[in-house]
Structures are given as C-alpha cells and as structure tokens.
Structure 1
Amino acid sequence: MAASYSERFEEWQKARFSPPPEPELTPTKPSFLDMVPMRDKVRLYTEVFLPANKQEPAPAILMRSPYPFSLPSRNDKRPISRYQDEGYAVVYQLTRGQGKSEGRYRRYIDDINDGYDCIEWIEKQYWCNGCVGMEGPSYLGTTQLLAAKSKPRALKCIMPTAFVGNSLECSPFVNGVPLRGNFLQWNKVLDAESMSSLDFIYGDANIHQHPTLGPAMYKRPLLEAADNVLEGDKLESWKEIIANPTDCEYWQSISYSDHDLSNLSIPTFFTDGWYDMTRGPIDFFVRLESLQPARPDCYLLVGPWNHGQTYAAHSHGQSNGEREMQENGQVDLVSLRLAFYDHYLKDEASNEKLKDLQPNRVRVYITGSPDSNANVWKDYPTFPPPNVKVHNMYLQSEGNANSLPDTGFLTLTPPEKHSRLAPSDIYIYDPDVPTPSESEAMRDRRSIEVRSDVVTYTSAPLTEPLTILGHIKLVLYAASDAPDTDWFATLTEIFPNGKSVAFHHSVSAIRARYRHGLDREIPLRPNEVERLNISLGFAGHQVAAGNCLRLSIFSAAFPKCDPNTNTGNNVATDTDVRVAKQTVFHTVSNPSHLSIPVITL
C-alpha cells in the first residue's frame, strides 16, 4: 500500500531535520527595534543592527522581506555579524501587513513607496552616514528594484538576487499559465513563523495529495481555489492577482519596463543560479546591456545553484537532484557582497577585493560531466558573451513521437520537401487527467516522457561536447482543435543508461491565447497552424560527447501549474472543460526548431 501524505511528510521531516541540511545559526540580537512610520502613518516592524565598535555614522544595508521566519532575531543565516564587523549598519524590515508590520498585504503593490520611505528614514538616523545599499534574494530582490524606481537620494547600490522578474512571464503566471500549486503554497509560507511549522513540503510535486491543500489544486473556478486555504489579506491578494492574468493596469506600477530599466542608474549586482526557476537577474542584465551598454558598475553572477544557494552560501555543498555540486561551485557570497559595498558605499575607488572576486562584469559557471573541461567559472565582459553562436535543431519524426523508444528526432538538418518523414505529430490533452509536473528538478524525467500526452524529439549521440550558454528558445508550429490551450517544453540531457535529466530549471510554457502578447487575448482557430515562440530559459552547461539532447512537448504540468480547461473562457471563473487534440508540425513551411546558444570552452 502506498504511503499516505502524512507518512511521507514525516519521513521527509526526518531526512530534513536529522541531521539538518544546513546549520541552525544563532539568532542575532538587534541593537534596537522600531516601528518605522510610512507616509500614510502605517508602521513597519524593523530590526536594526549597528556596526561593532563604531562611533561615527556608517553606511547601511537594507533588506525588506515579507517573511517573518527569516528575521535575523529568529535565525541569522546571513550572518549579519560579518557586516557589523566590517563597519556596516544592517536594517531588516518586514513589508506591509507581514508579521508585526501594520497595514494590508498586497504583493509588491506598496513596496515602491514603502521602500522609499524606509530609506529616507534610515538616511536621517544619527548612525547612518547617508549611504544605503540593499540586498536579498527572491521577494527581497524585487523590493530592491521597486525601491530603486522611486530614486531615494541615499540609495547608492543594490544586489538583487534570484527574483522572478516579470510577474506574468515567470511567477505567479508563466506567459499566462497560472502557477496554481506553487503560488498557493507560497502564500501559505508568507505567514509561517518557521518553515518547520508547516504541515507540507514547500514546493512538493505531490501537494495535490495533501488533506487540506490537495482539494485546492483541483477546485474550479480558479478564483475560488484558495477559499478554504487562505484567509484575510492573503486571500484577497490571491483573488486580485488571479483576476488579472493579462498585462493590464494592475501590473504597471510593479513591472519593470524598458523605460524603467533605462532609468536604473545606480550600481547593480545581479545574482542567479542555473537550477533556479527565476529568470529576473539574467533577463534584467541582458535588457540593461541593450539599453545601457557595457556599464562598468553593472554585474552578473550565475552559479550552479538552486533558489536558496544563490544567496545562502552555507547550503552550497548540497547537490541538485542528479546534478552534483562541484567543490569549486561554492562561493563566499558574503565576502562578495561586502566587497561590492566597500567599493560603492565606502568610496574605496582603489579597492581590489571586488575585482579579485568578480574579475569581469560577468561571471558564470559552466556545468558538465566530472571528467570534462567544464565545471569551470568563466569571466566575460557581457552576457551573452560575444563569441556565442546560435545553432538550430529541427524537430522531425515518423509520425508517432509520443512513444518511446524515440521516433521523434532533433537534427541540424531542416525538413526537406519530399521527406519520407511525417509532417506532424498528434497527442490528446485532457485537463481532467493532466500531465504531471516533475517530482523534483534535475531528476530522471522518463516516467513523464513515456506518457501518450507527451511528444519527444531526441538528437543522435553527440560526436563532441556541446557547450550551451545563454537563452534557449523554441519556435513551435502547432495547432489545437480547442479555442485555447497550453504548450510546455523541457530540454534534457540523455545519458548512455537512458536517464533524461534537465541541466537548468525553467518552467517553459505559453498559454495560446497570449501568443501575440500578454496584453491581449486572441482565441485559436480550430486546427489552424500557429507559430509559438517559447522561452526555455537560460542555461550554462556542457552536454558530454556520447550523450543526446531531448526536447519534450506537452500541455500541462500539474499540480505546479493550473491545467488549461481548453475552453477559451475567462481563466479566473471558468468551470467547464474540454479535451483537446494537439498537433505539432515539422515541415518545410512550418519548421519547428530549437535555437541553442553555443560557445567553445
């Protein structure tokens, strides 16, 4: 008999907490606490840590977070004492409506003005010399960028790490596809006093089996899915966001347009990891390069890291699925951050520490097999590097690419006019029996790839290593007999033993109604071929000689993502369902293909 959710949860807790995967650090006692008033008189809970043995005013580092469990006074995993020893004051503030902070929580909505007001408050304190930097991962990365939008005088530099970027492209929507499972769990995490107090495994692919959260994964309409799970301002925020899946006025203030990026003029250090689903740091750096080319005070660091590893160096030793962490993939991120602050907050123009730790504007880690010339840090003047070349790999098949062993192929040769190969592949997508999301990132995906609602295209074994570095894109020519549907894609490396393992983490999908832009909804015409441009995210990986590449195409990833009902009805209120026939084309006139950025190591 299969183990129940509660039994599996208990086993997970044992594995997680005995022994723990990371050291439980001693909480740091704040120098003082304050309820800092915003312009509308709402007061936000703030912990202040003054520098050690410092008598004169000092530069300050600000972190603005929605998570009560991450307060340094509870468990300091940064550790803040290193900042204090180096002569910095640290300010850690809970965002509006979180923990003891007053006001109503609304995701990001108030963080522009609140960020400005907090920085202005810090600037006026006797212990601050008028220079403020910001740092932090995930939500904390976005609060930095939103504060920078308002241009507070004292904000001199920021270090945004592993943030989602565009909310409609990454989270809580992936190009129109709602991240129901992930986003609902995240809303529960927001109010947790500690992660160990949760009765579920955050990010669990089997969350649909949970006794309380499980029913919310199936409930329609989507707008009411959180009714028995969330409450108060979290429930209000859920409904507000789910009701706005299109790029509309609701998102304008908290998005970063090209105009906003053009005005981002302070020194900025972006950090991300190949094994994290966030795209913001790399995307923002690439966009900044086109808007403000070769800015000497703009940096990018991308390591072989998951979400937590992009910021918390103490977890670097942990591998990601079947992708083992190499020893040289670990970085002293606190020293790096301090070197950045020394350079831009202490006016140490001759400081060489930053150059030692980040020799060029861009530093990325290329993963690969242990016995290869990969698993190295590479330094570049920009990203993508100037010597990257794009290779196209074309989809072809014998007409039944939804069966393994593969009859679907990836080839460097475009489709030919009189080819004996089939012009298309067909599969059936049923929203009531959706394709599951992977149980864990960077694990063998074959149990999903063998499904009849997944089509796969595999290259021949490589005759030499292929080093991929940059933005992977899919041009998919496809049709559906439904007025709306979703298309997902995943790229994996196939090993001689048959294992199919991803080498970067990206939820890559598009909701068909948004194929012409996230600001408009255009229904499909039944069985009419459409060109769909799907971003597969960014990667830095060398595929070994003898291994293969495999592209999987499917129409759901449940429970991580909300299954498209295929009706074309309003996303938030739809309760109807229809089965869809999906067709993938690979002909001379409709040449579905991957665009892969390749570099020579």
Structure 2
Amino acid sequence: MPQIVHVGPAPVSPAAREERVRMRDGVRLATDVYLPGAPAEPDTTPGDTILIRLPYDKSGEYTFIPLIAEYFTDRGYRVVAQDVRGKFRSEGDALLFVNEVEDGYDTIDWIVQQPWSNGRVAMWGDSYYGYTQWAAVASQHPALKAIAPRVTGTMLGEPVRTVPGERTRPVEWAITYLYPLTYFHSQDAYFWELDPARRPFSAQAEDVVAELGSRSLSYDQWYPHAVHLPRFPLASPFDARPVPTLQTIGWWDNCAPLSWADVAEIETRPAWALNHFLRIESMDHESYYLDDPLTARVEERGDEQIRAELPRMLQPAVDFFEVFVRGRGRAADIPRVSWNLAGTSGMRASETWPPSQAATRTLYAHASGELSPDAPDAAAEREWLHDPEQLVPSSVPNAFAFLLFQPDEAELGARADVLSFTTDAFARDVDLAGPVRVAASVSSDGPVMDVFARLLDVAPDGTALRVARGQVNVTGAGDSATVVIDLGQVGYRVHAGHRLRLHVHSSDFPEFLPQPGTGEEPWGAVATTTNRQRVVLGGDEPLRVTLTVLPDTRAEEARP
C-alpha cells in the first residue's frame, strides 16, 4: 500500500478578505480579495484587478499566492485569488478542466460588480492557473482585457488520444493518471508514489482509492476508458475574441510541448497573432532557472528568497498589463518575442520565432558512435533492449523541477539499453535557436515500442546537460516505421570545446509510463517481456538530428 501524505488548506492570509462567490448553479467558490494598503488601510476606490484561479490552495505555501498578491497590490492592482470548484475551501465536485469556462466568466462578472473594481480585469498564473486563463478567454467575458499564462497549454493534462490509421502518437505521462488521484481526488490533496516493482499500476491506484474511501471523478473519467468531456463547451479560446496575451514558456519546462502547440495554432489565426506576445526563458515548470546560484536551488524556498525572485517572475506581466489594461505606453514597445539564449545573460528580442536568420543543420548517427554532418556511406542497424524490469531512469525525481537538480546525464550513455552518438568538440560557439527534430526508421520484435531521444551538451570535463528531448510511441512495431520525434524548441549556446550527444532508448520512468513489451496498455499491464529494438543508420531514412542554428556573426560584429 503506497504511503499517502494528506495536505489540507492553509490559513487565509491576514492581508486578504475571503469571500464566497456564487456561481450560476449555486456552487460557492472560496475567493480571497487583496486590496492595495490592506489590511491596515485598504484602498477601496475602483481600480484594475488581477485574477488568479488555481487548484493548489490560494493560501498554501506551494504557490505563495499571498506574496504574489503583495507584489501586485504594491503596484496598485487589486488581486483576486480563488480556489477552483471542488478544491480546498470551494464547494462542488473536483472535476478537472470542464467547469473553468463558466466559473471563470461568473467570477469575472462578480469582480466587475464590486466597488473596488473599475471594470477591467487581467489574469496571471502558471500551469493549471494558466489554463484557467485560456478558459476565461473562451468564456468571452468583455471585462477580460489581458492574460499572462505561463508554462501551460490549452490541452494541459489531456490523456493521449489514438488517431485511427496513425502508427505514432505521444508517449503517455504517468502524471496523467497520478494527477487526478493526488491534486484532484477531492477537496484536499493526497500525495503518493508509484512502486515500480508492483504491477499493474492501476491496482496501486485502486488501493489508494480504497484507503481514501471515495473515488476520483477525474480519474474515473479517464481510466479505464477515457471520456473526453468538452473543456471548452462554447468554442476553442482561439475561436473567441482575441485577448492580448503574454505567453511565457520555459526551455526546460516538461509541459512546453503543450505551450508550443498553442503557439502553432495562434500562428494560423491572424487576429490572434496580432495580440500574442511570446516570452521564452531558461527555466523549468517550477520557475527554477539555469543561472540560479546553488543557494537558490533549494526545494523549500523561504519568503525572503521568493520575494527576491518575484521581479523576474512577475514584472514582465506588470509591464504588459500597464499597456493593455491601463493604457500606459505603446504595444509597439513590447517585443513580439523576448527570449533568453541559455548559456548567455539577458533577454533578446525578435519579431518571429525562430529568428528569421536561423537555418537548419543536420547531423547523422554512425555505427562508430559518431554524430557528424556527413551521412553514413551504407545502411546499417543498431539494436538495444527494452527490459520493463530494468527501466532507463528519468533524469530527476521531480520532472517539473529539472533545473533544481540540473543532473549530469553522461553516465546514462554507458547503459547497454541506451544508444549514444557524439559530435567532435566544437571549434567555436554555436547558437541553437529553433526546433530540434530526430528522424529515423525503427522497428521491434514486440508489438509496440517507445522511442525516447535526448540531446545533451557535453562539457570538456565530460559532464552532460540535457538541452532537448522528445519521445514517440509506435504501434505495429514489428514492421519498420519512419518516425519524426519532436524534441521541442531550443535557445541554447553550445560553447567552443563542448560536444553534442544524442541518446536513444525506450523508457523514461517514472515520468513516462513504460511499455510492458506485450502490447498491453501500460497502466493496467500485468505481464512483461523484453523487446529487442532496432534503428537504421544510413540509407534512405538514417538516424539524424536536425538543428536550427543562428549564423556566426562575429566577423560582422568585429568590423568598425
């Protein structure tokens, strides 16, 4: 039986006044109101409001909303923080995603009727409380003037869907089934970990449900037969009236693929594209940064440390709201794309992503273990084993906080079940800025295979930092399949003397559900078997990495 840690609501912040806001169906949501000058001398005159709707406890330490509210109110904003339906102090069922459109509309409607509101509302937040912003956009409330979603996506948390006729699809995250049994089981949160040695994983979930004495609506919605309830019952947010949006993505955010999918959709909508501003930072999902000093890389961050980090997290949104909510300044003064080249300091500006001057370069894998610009002369194969009892471990114990750990992944390349290919040392700095793709022809002696690809920066001392990754699930794997693995977008400087390395393998546990080798679905599988996997080097579909690279401008920069 997994050990279960129970987390209930924290006390309401003394700086807030808690309200019970009634939704259209009579359910009341617990809502904190923070006013400038509160609690000593609250300013009740009408002003602009920032709304934060989240499922992680509006008063809890994890999201430090009272400190965030303090930052915003110090700049004259009113702040409303709300536990979403069914969570912590709010009434109703804890059901992922599906109530956020109507509840977002009703909450904004309540705000604009308050004496301290001037009728203008903005929204801010990460992850699920980034998703609630997109839901509010879909509600089309006219008072919503701007949003600033970070590390999120409109399809956040959705189970992988099978598309008839397609042999490839994404690999399922373990969090897909754990999240509705931890954060969204009921009002409070209950944390527990999978035992990798005990199958089926679904039996562990049933033990937790039995121990808690009630079922999770969200879990039962998704397993064993996924029911995809409409999360946007009116229409997609991108079919709604465009709202000025500052979208923040982290290079090391494990949810970044969902963010980039939204960016791709926005680029097909001219009206939305005009209202969309992109910010890309060298951070992960939990707002740890690549350049954080060791003293800042701690799991439990105190109030003073958080306050010191808030400007980096919040000031871009404040600057954005000053223009689009308060009408101060010009939209033209905000970069269309603001991004950090990891390995360098400061932010860069561009009109597009990738930058217009970027170009693609391809590196080919060789049987010798080399990764080079030259394609192999002849076709060959490399094999590796996928043993469900000896899984390739995930890089970090918490996939959402990769940069808290910044692991050295070099030793993974020594495993027999990981293929490794490495370039020569770079003679000069090379700046990666854009998509990374891995393509290959793969097959297996099992019915289903997963292919994981990680791109690493190998320093002269041999340590290796992961800079990109992607994965794909292949059905009918007994027949060769040509796969293209999206490793996401990258903004990263590979310094002179460093090398790039590609790792290829078939598991990444516990972050991703591992294939049992039998073709049975991974969450409910009981039996396991080892599979022999193959990839082609050379020929018409060789294993290759396509990078997006900025030109070397040092010569031009040196000219008088």
**How does the TM-score come out when normalised to structure 2?**
0.82
Taking only the aligned residue pairs, the percentage that are identical comes to: 24
Q: How much has 1:583 moved relative to structure 2? A: 0.1
The CA deviation string for residues 272-328 of structure 1, in whole angstroms up to 9 with x for no partner, is 2222212134442343123327944321111222223279x999973599xxxxxxx
Contact map agreement 1:503 1:539 (CA 8 A) in 2: yes
Q: How much has 1:497 moved relative to structure 2? A: 1.8
Q: Give the Cα separation in 1 of the matches to 2:117 and 2:217.
A: 38
In the alignment, is residue 188 of structure 1 matched against residue 182 of structure 2? yes
Q: 1:226 aligns with which of 205, 226, 229?
A: 205
- 1:302 match: 280
In the alignment, is residue 435 of structure 1 matched against residue 392 of structure 2? yes
The CA deviation string for residues 67-91 of structure 1, in whole angstroms up to 9 with x for no partner, is 1265489954543233223332211
Taking structure 1 as reference, are residues 315 and 283 closer, same or farther at Cα in structure 2, changes over 3 Å only?
Answer: farther
Contact map agreement 2:49 2:117 (CA 8 A) in 1: yes
Q: 1:44 aligns with which of 7, 15, 29?
A: 29
Contact map agreement 2:99 2:231 (CA 8 A) in 1: no
- 1:482 match: 446
- 2:137 match: 148
- 1:203 match: none
- 1:497 match: 461
- 1:414 match: 375
- 1:536 match: 487
Contact map agreement 2:94 2:184 (CA 8 A) in 1: no
Q: How much has 1:218 moved relative to structure 2? A: 4.1
Q: How many residues align?
A: 518
Q: How much has 1:477 moved relative to structure 2? A: 1.3
In the alignment, is residue 87 of structure 1 matched against residue 87 of structure 2? no
Contact map agreement 2:12 2:18 (CA 8 A) in 1: no
SS in 1 for 2:366: strand
Q: 2:118 aligns with which of 122, 129, 132?
A: 129
The CA deviation string for residues 241-285 of structure 1, in whole angstroms up to 9 with x for no partner, is 24356xxx606535999x642545010001122222121344423
Q: Give the Cα separation in 1 of the matches to 2:310 and 2:87.
A: 33
In the alignment, is residue 290 of structure 1 matched against residue 276 of structure 2? no
Report the AA paired with residue 28 of structure 2.
R
The CA deviation string for residues 115-140 of structure 1, in whole angstroms up to 9 with x for no partner, is 12211221222322221111101111
Q: How much has 1:553 moved relative to structure 2? A: 0.6
**How does the TM-score come out when normalised to structure 1?**
0.77
SS in 2 for 1:90: strand
- 1:160 match: 149
What is the RMSD computed on CA atoms of the aligned residues? 3.8
SS in 2 for 1:488: strand
Contact map agreement 1:271 1:301 (CA 8 A) in 2: yes
Contact map agreement 1:365 1:540 (CA 8 A) in 2: yes
Taking structure 1 as reference, are residues 562 and 583 closer, same or farther at Cα in structure 2, changes over 3 Å only?
Answer: same
Any gaps of 5 or more consecutive residues in structure 1? 10-25, 201-211, 322-328, 369-373, 398-406, 514-522
In the alignment, is residue 32 of structure 1 matched against residue 13 of structure 2? no
SS in 2 for 1:237: helix
Q: How much has 1:175 moved relative to structure 2? A: 4.8
- 1:343 match: 323
Q: Give the Cα separation in 1 of the matches to 2:292 and 2:103.
A: 31
Q: How much has 1:64 moved relative to structure 2? A: 0.4
Report the AA paired with residue 312 of structure 2.
D
Contact map agreement 2:424 2:499 (CA 8 A) in 1: yes
Report the AA paired with residue 231 of structure 2.
S
Pairs within 5 Å for 1:502-581: 502-504=466-468, 506=469, 508-513=470-475, 523-524=476-477, 526=478, 528-581=479-532
Q: 1:240 aligns with which of 221, 224, 231?
A: 221
- 2:341 match: 366
- 1:389 match: 359
SS in 2 for 1:532: strand
Report the AA paired with residue 337 of structure 1.
A
Q: Give the Cα separation in 2 of the matches to 1:570 and 1:367.
A: 38
Contact map agreement 2:456 2:464 (CA 8 A) in 1: yes
Q: Give the Cα separation in 2 of the matches to 1:351 and 1:142.
A: 27
In the alignment, is residue 423 of structure 1 matched against residue 380 of structure 2? yes
Taking structure 1 as reference, are residues 497 and 335 closer, same or farther at Cα in structure 2, changes over 3 Å only?
Answer: closer
Report the AA paired with residue 118 of structure 2.
N
- 2:173 match: 179
Q: How much has 1:454 moved relative to structure 2? A: 0.7
Q: How much has 1:168 moved relative to structure 2? A: 6.6
Q: Which segment drifts farther, 443-452 or 279-288?
A: 279-288
Contact map agreement 2:221 2:228 (CA 8 A) in 1: no
Contact map agreement 1:226 1:238 (CA 8 A) in 2: no
Contact map agreement 2:432 2:493 (CA 8 A) in 1: yes
Report the AA paired with residue 476 of structure 1.
A
Q: How much has 1:342 moved relative to structure 2? A: 1.9
The CA deviation string for residues 447-482 of structure 1, in whole angstroms up to 9 with x for no partner, is 322111111111111222221112211112100111
SS in 1 for 2:202: helix
Any gaps of 5 or more consecutive residues in structure 2? 6-10, 163-167, 300-308, 554-560
- 1:445 match: 409
Report the AA paired with residue 534 of structure 1.
I
Contact map agreement 1:67 1:191 (CA 8 A) in 2: no
The CA deviation string for residues 409-432 of structure 1, in whole angstroms up to 9 with x for no partner, is 21112233xx3xx61101111112
Report the AA paired with residue 301 of structure 1.
R
SS in 2 for 1:271: strand
Q: How much has 1:186 moved relative to structure 2? A: 8.0
Taking structure 1 as reference, are residues 444 and 454 closer, same or farther at Cα in structure 2, changes over 3 Å only?
Answer: same
